[in-house]
Chain A
């Protein structure tokens, strides 16, 4: 039945690809979607300074203000940078593109005592959500000169018309028909055996699986070669390997990958270590075992998003952790501190699962082994090392792999605790971003769905490669032992 798999793959990849190459028209000029235009007029300001835009307390972008003449800086056209900005020296009567230096930093020039106006289109504003916009003006000494705030609401008012659903419907329909035809063929093949009844029972589940899992995955792989953008869904065009080049050359790739690995390995090691130790403690004859077990299970029973938000409150500068420790620290201000905190919270969350799983494995170790060893006068430590750990290995090895995959994909903790910050600049991963939270940013804050799909594929391949190497490695060590 090997060819069966390839038939499925071929028949449903075909409509996916053809759906992509249908040229669907949609209005891509619907500007304003996930973009907010801000105009600022600055009066009675002298000397140099800078203007900063913060969206919901997160730094978004800055314009350097210089008193004098524009030097040799370029004036990029609209669309060349994330934010399009303009300046005007006569109260916004005629706007000119803003000057940018070689790093893309925007510079606005003015000569006093004129009024300086700056206009920017801020990208990456979440839709249907109220955001606080604050505009901060700093003087030459980096001190806050004045601040103005506004609320951005309902940027989704200017949503583009919904994209044409016919290609997707066409793909789904043809996949469904293919699967049904395939089951018909299989039933015909099994017509002489009772087993044919099974096919009808499996068909609904398998149909759902292919339509809602395999098709999206294949679709995602196709997407990763296109320039799909949230502003213009249905208007994708193939751009070859450009997304993948972007992924590997983007500034934060290695940094995020490194922290993701630190995050994953630290967490798994502590989960297995602490979980295993607690399981062994609870394996002994302890009074109140059931009470301990139930209490230690709580972090697993409580919905994880609630625990994470509670920890966020606990780490608040005036929160309970500071009170208990007698400190006055903002735990999420520095990169290293924030990284430590997100890892600690995730350790808290993940230990009970490992504890219970290892506990189950411990119970299956026959008592007699330990009894015999005790009679022989083997010490506790030697029993742990030569009986318990080798017998736990077959359970813990796959468990650790599972833990690895989950932790690698753990979104809630970092998103809710720090949202990737500190040092969260627009378009770049923040100090605590792991791959998965950064992909979320790329896809749903920046709206670059094609690029995000490419990131997803890269993550998927990395996970697959790791799982393969791990299984291979653990089998090799098993054979060696």
Chain B
């Protein structure tokens, strides 16, 4: 029995030696591709600077050479390409120190030095050199296979974190910048970060000036008005669409969908004409009417979806107990639907709070601006008050962002099912 086992094991273990590729090879392959990828934006930056493309070209050559050498398992070329990458990173750091250190140089140098140095380190290990010259012992190959199994998920997770962190940085940089501008003195859009000179003068100016309160009040009136009008129209309609199959049911549902598909621009010009003729320009009512009907189809669809999940038996029981149609709706269905109504309300509130184009076209008088148009007016071609803008935009967006994050799950569900972007 034991003899049988050992005889069947023998070719397998031999296979292990033939199959074994050190995980370092995979890492170096990924590293080489990474170097090529980071060289592409660096070339663009070098072209903006009008200088320094030679070092990047060196890095790119190293990366390309490494890919080829890894394919060929050519150790000498691998060493040369690693050295090229390492040298490119060092040169970049050296030149940046001479002129001015920018974050992007630090980023490029760190990655290339780490990868190039790592490549040299890995290639000079005895294990790798034995493997490359096919002098690896059987036991070592088996241990290597086990090690690969352990290393692979770790490096995978590390790669995921590295990619995600890059995206997080890209997301956070503008936010950090605007916070810095809000707290820095002066009205310039300076790129110098630092908390040493932070003051709250801009917040002071914004909160004690009249702009913020006027525009904020307009925005609050318009958003709350939109929510109220929208809900008053959408709740009964959603309920009826869910429960009754009256004549014209299908065509009315279809017309809701159709409105959803109208691009805003086709409505913009005639809206303007109608509002102007009716004297509704520069009023809150004009915006409320326009917004509530824009959000209406989505609200109706979302509420209909909710009402569909409420069992009909509830209403039948209520009817048996002598409730009229309206009181069934009012006393039984509405209280059950409060969560869905809250999310719909939040959606129409946020949509109205953030809308820009209609507010820009309809309310041209600065005392009737909503916050979006008012904030944008701080940054005009003639004069840009970046400090005040930054402070006010932090005050405006903080509650919105918190609401969004707090309700993200239900909002996202509703939004992606109803196909509307906030």
Residues in chain A within 8 A of chain B (CB atoms)? 1, 4-5, 56-58, 126-132, 156, 162-165, 167-169, 186, 189-190, 193-202, 204-206, 208-209, 212-217, 219-220, 223, 228, 233-234, 278, 281-282, 284, 286-287, 292, 294-307, 309-314, 316, 318-327, 329, 348, 353, 356-357, 360, 398-399, 402, 405-406, 408-409, 411-412, 415-416, 419, 436, 439-440, 443-444, 449, 452-453, 456-457, 459-460, 463, 467
Contacts and interface: CB of A to CB of B under 8 A. Distances in A.
A168 B192 contact: no
Nearest to A186: B247
A134 to B, nearest CB: 10
Interface in B190-247: 190-193, 232-234, 236-237, 239-241, 243-247
Contact of A327 (B45, B157, B379, B401): B45
B96 interface: yes
A204 B233 contact: yes
B276 A216 contact: no
Given A204-B236, A209-B255, A301 B401 contact: yes
Contact of A234 (B189, B277, B381): B277
A463 B263 contact: yes
A298 B379 contact: no
Contact of B248 (A4, A168, A299, A312): A4
Interface in B371-409: 372, 375-376, 379-382, 384, 386, 389-390, 393, 396-397, 400-401, 404-405, 408
A456 B266 contact: yes
B265 to A, nearest CB: 5
A216 B419 contact: no
B369 to A, nearest CB: 10
A208 B160 contact: no
A132 B382 CA distance: 7
Top-10 shortest CB links A-B? A198-B244, A326-B102, A201-B240, A323-B191, A205-B237, A220-B270, A301-B404, A198-B240, A201-B236, A320-B191
Interface of B: 45, 48-49, 96, 99-105, 157, 160-161, 163-164, 167-168, 170-175, 177-178, 181, 188-193, 232-234, 236-237, 239-241, 243-252, 255-256, 259, 261-274, 276-279, 289-290, 292-293, 296-297, 300, 325, 329, 353-354, 356-357, 361, 364-366, 372, 375-376, 379-382, 384, 386, 389-390, 393, 396-397, 400-401, 404-405, 408, 412-413, 415-416, 419, 421-422
B416 A1 contact: no
Contact of B171 (A209, A299, A411): A299
B278 to A, nearest CB: 5
Contacts of A206: 237, 252, 255
Contact of A310 (B177, B188, B192, B289): B177
B372 to A, nearest CB: 5
A208 B372 contact: no
B379 A467 contact: no
Given A301-B405, A303-B372, A306-B375, A213 B259 contact: yes
B421 A406 contact: yes
A321 B269 CA distance: 37
B279 A309 contact: no
B130 to A, nearest CB: 28
Contacts of B386: 313
Contacts of B329: 201
A164 B277 CA distance: 7
Nearest to A454: B269
A457 B397 contact: no
B237 A416 contact: no
B379 A312 contact: yes
B247 A1 contact: yes
A416 B376 contact: yes
Which of B103, B172, B244, B415 has the largest count of A CB atoms less than 10 A from its CB?
B244
A195 B245 contact: yes
B378 to A, nearest CB: 8
A450 to B, nearest CB: 9
A457 B175 CA distance: 39
B295 to A, nearest CB: 11
Contacts of B264: 409, 411
Contacts of B99: 326
Which of B239, B269, B353, B404 has the largest count of A CB atoms less than 10 A from its CB?
B269
Contacts of A294: 405, 408
Which of A282, A298, A460 has the largest count of B CB atoms less than 10 A from its CB?
A298
Contact of A228 (B243, B273, B413): B273
A214 B177 contact: no
A411 B357 contact: yes
Contacts of A356: 412, 416
Nearest to A196: B246
A417 B124 CA distance: 52
Contacts of B270: 216-217, 219-220, 223, 453
A405 B192 CA distance: 38
8 contacts: A168-B278, A199-B244, A201-B236, A202-B237, A202-B246, A299-B171, A303-B372, A436-B265
Contacts of B408: 294, 297, 301
Nearest to A151: B382
A310 B273 contact: no
A394 B78 CA distance: 45
Contact of B382 (A57, A169, A327): A57
Nearest to A436: B265
Which of A156, A217, A467 has the largest count of B CB atoms less than 10 A from its CB?
A217
B395 to A, nearest CB: 11
Contacts of B236: 201-202, 204-205
B239 to A, nearest CB: 6
A208 B296 contact: yes
B416 A357 contact: yes
Given A215-B274, A292-B164, A309-B389, 12 more contacts: A56-B380, A128-B365, A168-B277, A186-B246, A195-B246, A201-B237, A301-B405, A302-B397, A319-B190, A323-B102, A326-B99, A456-B263
A284 B156 CA distance: 10
A353 B414 CA distance: 12
Nearest to B408: A297
Given A202-B240, A233-B276, A305-B354, A298 B421 contact: no
A437 B250 CA distance: 36
Contacts of B175: 298, 302, 310
A148 to B, nearest CB: 15
A209 B277 CA distance: 19
A422 B193 CA distance: 29
B45 A326 contact: yes
